[in-house]
Amino acid sequence: MARRFTRLITTPAAARSARGQYRPFVSLLTDFGSRDPSAGILHGIVLGIAPEALIVDISHDVDKFQISDGALLLWCALPFLPIGSHVAVVDPGVGTERRGVALETARGDHLVGPDNGLLLPCASRLGGVVRAHGLENPQYRLPQVSSSFHGRDLFAPAAAHLALGVPLESLGPPIDPFELVSLEWPEPELGPAELTASVLYIDTYGNVKLGALGGELDEALGPIQHGTALQLRSVERPRARPIGVSWARTFGTVPVGEPLLYEDSYGRLCIAVNQGSAAQELKLTVGARFVIRRPSAPSTRTGQASVTSDVTQADATQADATQAAATQAAATQADAMQAAASPDADAAPGPAPGAALR
């Protein structure tokens, strides 16, 4: 089970120090990219409402329309960010009937964005959803709401007002948290001495993040020492040669160019190649599923089949030799009988009777 964070992750010294009045904090994550002005416009909207706000860009380079990618980046980042208002926009359904929502987490954060599953994994990591409200009050949105830029018109204004202390319930009607759209993240499967997991995300280094945590590997395979050899077998291509990896603490504990399986800095299982791209070199793609297990011992079935084959072959060889001897004996006896019946038998005697059968 993934660890939950209900307090800010910081240093022991900072945790003990007196805390003054914080500036309003807003973070932004989108798939807008950096070429267009969209990300900068979000900054402007927040600062226009909350001029003292501190704004942090988590990323604006989420792969286009990939809700699960954005959800994973939020899941990774938010436990390390100050408690505040967090806007996330990966929204293929913008302008449709999908709802805009604001969620309050047990840690005290507000997550603002589309109700498409993007926010829920992170909300769970921050202790779970305490309250959820729709974004329907026109007092906390721009006067004109477009059909294609809800990040600007709905989400950034709502987050800025929440950062200033506006009550969540002021934004719109309550929503049952159990009615929020969930994200279809593939769950790991724990079997006898094996763990099946899917590729969720490939980072900029080509490291491949799996949909399973380090603790789940221990649960499935038992305690594993660093340096232990493991195999990754493709679920989609069961006849393909398994990928051999070392269970490693970090990249530099294996030779350059060698693959490894490790627990990343967020507690998630990850496939990497030391100073290389695991995605490229091992030809791994998002959605692929693998069974992780220790290398199999030589199959007893294979050995038995080999022994049986050898015995069968020996039996066949013996049968051929017996048949050949019988054929030769019959031919020799026939020659003897023919010689005995010949008029020149005394001049050219054949073998003694029965000699061919000795």
Note the CATH number of domain 189-293. Answer: 2.40.30.90
Q: What angle do CA 253, 254, 258 make, to 5 degrees?
A: 155
Q: In this predicted structure, what is the pLDDT of residue 5?
A: 80
Q: What is the mean predicted confidence (pLDDT) over 88-117?
A: 98
Measure the CA–CA gap between 358 and 354, rounded to whole angstroms: 7
Q: Which residue has the higher pLDDT, 317 or 21?
A: 21
pTM score:
0.79
Q: How far is CA 49 from the centre of its chain?
A: 40
Give the H/E segment covering residue 114: strand 110-114
More confident residue, 53 or 338: 53
SS3 100: strand
Task: Quote the pLDDT of residue 184.
Answer: 87
d(CA 311, CA 141) in angstroms, rounded, equals 83
Distance (Å) of CA 341 to CA 229, 252, 332, 350, 357? 80, 93, 15, 11, 19
Q: Which residue has the higher pLDDT, 193 or 349?
A: 193
Over residues 90-100, the mean pLDDT reads: 97
Res 236: pLDDT: 94
Angle at which helices 38-49 and 156-163 pack, to 10 degrees? 30
Query: In which residue are the tokens 């007092």 written?
Result: 139
What DSSP designation does 276 have? Answer: B
Mean of the pLDDT values across residues 106-122?
Answer: 98
**Percentage with pLDDT > 90 across the chain:** 75
Report the chain's mean pLDDT, rounded to a whole number: 85
In the predicted model, is pLDDT for residue 93 greater than 50? yes
What pLDDT band is residue 11 in, cutting at 50, 70 and 90?
confident
Tell me the C-alpha distance between 320 and 322, whole Å. 6
**Amino acid 20: pLDDT:** 60
* Ranges of each domain in the chain: 12-179, 189-293
- Structure tokens of 161? 């007002």
d(CA 55, CA 110): 14
Phi-psi bin for 136: left (phi > 0), alpha (psi -120 to 50), beta?
alpha
Q: Given this model, what pLDDT does residue 343 score?
A: 39
What own/partner pairs with CB < 8 Å and gap ≥ 24 does 9-14 have? 9/79, 9/80
Residue 245 structure tokens:
């990896």
Please determine, for residue 209, whether its predicted confidence score (pLDDT) is greater than 50: yes
Quick check: 33 and 153 in contact, CB under 8 A? no
Radius of gyration of the chain (CA): 36
Q: Do 12-179 and 189-293 show the same overall fold?
A: no
Question: 12-179 domain in CATH 2.60.40.60?
Answer: no
Place 279 in a pLDDT band, splitting at 50, 70 and 90: very high
